[in-house]
Amino acid sequence: MNNFSFSNSVKIIFGKGSIAKIAEEIPADARVLMTYGGGSIKKNGVYEQVKKAMEGRELFEFGGIEPNPHFETCMKAVELCKKEKIDFLLSVGGGSVLDGTKLIAAAQFVEGDPWGILVEGKQPSNALPIGVVLTLPATGSEMNSGAVITKDATKEKRDFNSRLVLPKFSVLDPETTYSLPPRQIGNGVVDTFVHVAEQYLTYPVGAKVQDRFAESILSVLVEEGPQALKTPEDYEVRSNLMWASTWALNGWISKGVPEDWATHMIGHEITALYGLDHGQTLAIVLPGVLSVMRGEKGAKIMQMGERVFGVSEGDEASRIEQSIAKLEAFFVSMGVKTRLSDYGLAEDCIEPVVKRLADRGAVLGENKTITPEKVREILKARV
Ligand code: NZQ
Ligand code: ZN
């Protein structure tokens, strides 16, 4: 196991009815801006629950944060924060609303153009405190310090990390996820699966606690994911999926082990250029990364195959092959298609992705061996 340090200060408030507790977590005199997306919270009763919980408090609203949140939209919210002297942000929605809120929290505290946080590694000197009501289990953003933002004008999708934007608290009420459409259930399960894969399907370092933890998250997804599609209002199923996605990316399973993240970096470019959902891009790319990089990842692919999918027959090459096939079949069973052509994309979509990564000097993977040429090979195998 490699050396590491770990701390995570986010307070999790889990379970049905928990939205009622948010006011206790927010200073009584705070001027709060509630941020939300395209309106799902107004259809599933979450908006009313938040308003009720915040009765008598200074509550402002900013809606319209898009999936793959736009930098431009977030900057409008920053203006509102300055105008109304907002000193607390309450993110109500999925990962996109929360990521946008993290940028809003930090943008006032960075010198010059806030886009510098995303592309130049500028760090904010401070951030507004954030509270969260999560309605879509997927990103882990509710318990991590990352955010992924898209600049609409240039179609760039980039990320930043700052401990200053770690939420103060996150409310996870599984009942809020009953209203998710099948497409978002599938995307969320795939995203969670791939977060684990990025931190687990690398090479062995003898980190047994992290490995078994990662495998337990994957096993829960395989067990409960299809069930969520079949019986959407099953509280136990939704609870397990929600908790699984938080743990998949709250920093814990990455401690003391190598990390990959190539699938995410390639996927972000596909979303930025062609508009596919985050989860859809991951379902396309991960099987390709595993297949092309099997020389480096073989031992862990086989370990996952055996412990998560029960692959125990055949020689090494056959076990790796079977394991990747089972993983891809699982994504398909969640209703998430795994080929570029399934989304109307042909081979000519590949070069722009490769060029963007090459222009940025990106060399990806746990061993920094996924060069732009390898990205081309990976994507050619995914048409
Ligand atoms: O906008 P509204 O109307 O709220 O609708 C949303 C949106 O259309 C809808 N939705 C959310 N909760 C719902 C619901 N519909 C019905 N019932 C509910 N309970 O779902 C749609 C997608 O929402 P979005 O927030 O975009 O999805 P997700 O949570 O998957 O977030 C994806 C974004 O997170 C980034 C991705 O790149 C993408 O931009 N990521 C952030 C990470 C992080 N901060 O750590 C890590 C991830 O790898 C990921 O990259
Ligand atoms: Zn992701």
Domain regions of the chain by residue span: 11-176, 181-380
- State the distance from the centre of ligand 1 to the C-alpha of 21, rounded, in angstroms: 23
State whether residue 35 is helix, strand or coil.
strand
Report how far residue 197's alpha carbon sits from residue 175's, in angstroms, rounded to the nearest whole number. Answer: 27
How confident is the model over 54-72, as pLDDT tens digits?
A: 999 999 999 999 999 999 9
Ligand 2 center–CA 338 separation, angstroms:
15
pLDDT at 335: 98
Taking CB atoms and a 6 Å cutoff, what residues make up the pocket around ligand 1?
37-41, 44, 67-68, 93-97, 99, 135-136, 138-141, 144, 146-148, 176-177, 179-180, 184, 187-188, 191, 249, 264, 278
pTM over 0.75: yes
Q: 257: which 2 tokens? A: 């082990």
Q: Give Cβ neighbours of residue 276 (< 8 Å, ≥ 6 apart).
A: 270, 284, 343
Given pLDDT bands bounded at 50, 70 and 90, which one contains residue 45?
very high
Residue located via tokens 């309605």:
135
Tell me: the pLDDT tens digits for 351-362? 999 999 999 999
Average pLDDT for 285-313 = 98
Q: What is the DSSP string of 179-232?
A: T--HHHHHHHHHHHHHHHHHHHSS---S-HHHHHHHHHHHHHHHHHHHHHHH-T
Residue with the smallest CA separation from ligand 1 atom 45 is 141
Fold of the 11-176 domain: Rossmann fold (3.40.50)
What would the pLDDT profile of 136-187 be if each residue is shown by its tens digit? Answer: 999 999 999 999 999 999 999 999 999 999 999 999 999 999 999 999 999 9
pLDDT at 320: 98
Single-letter amino acid, residue 154: T
Which secondary-structure segment (H or E) carries 34? strand 31-35
Average pLDDT taken over every residue of the chain? 98
What percentage of the chain has pLDDT greater than the value 90? Answer: 100
Tokens representing 1 are: 């196991």
Give the mutation target among 134, 139, 173, 274 for probing the ligand 1 site: most ligand atoms within 8 A of CB.
139
CATH number of 181-380: 1.20.1090.10
Q: Please report the pLDDT score of residue 294 as a whole number.
A: 98
Per-residue pLDDT of 105-138, as tens digits, reads: 999 999 999 999 999 999 999 999 999 999 999 9
Residue range 191-211: mean pLDDT, rounded: 98
Atom of ligand 1 nearest to the CA of 195: 48
Amino acid at 176: T
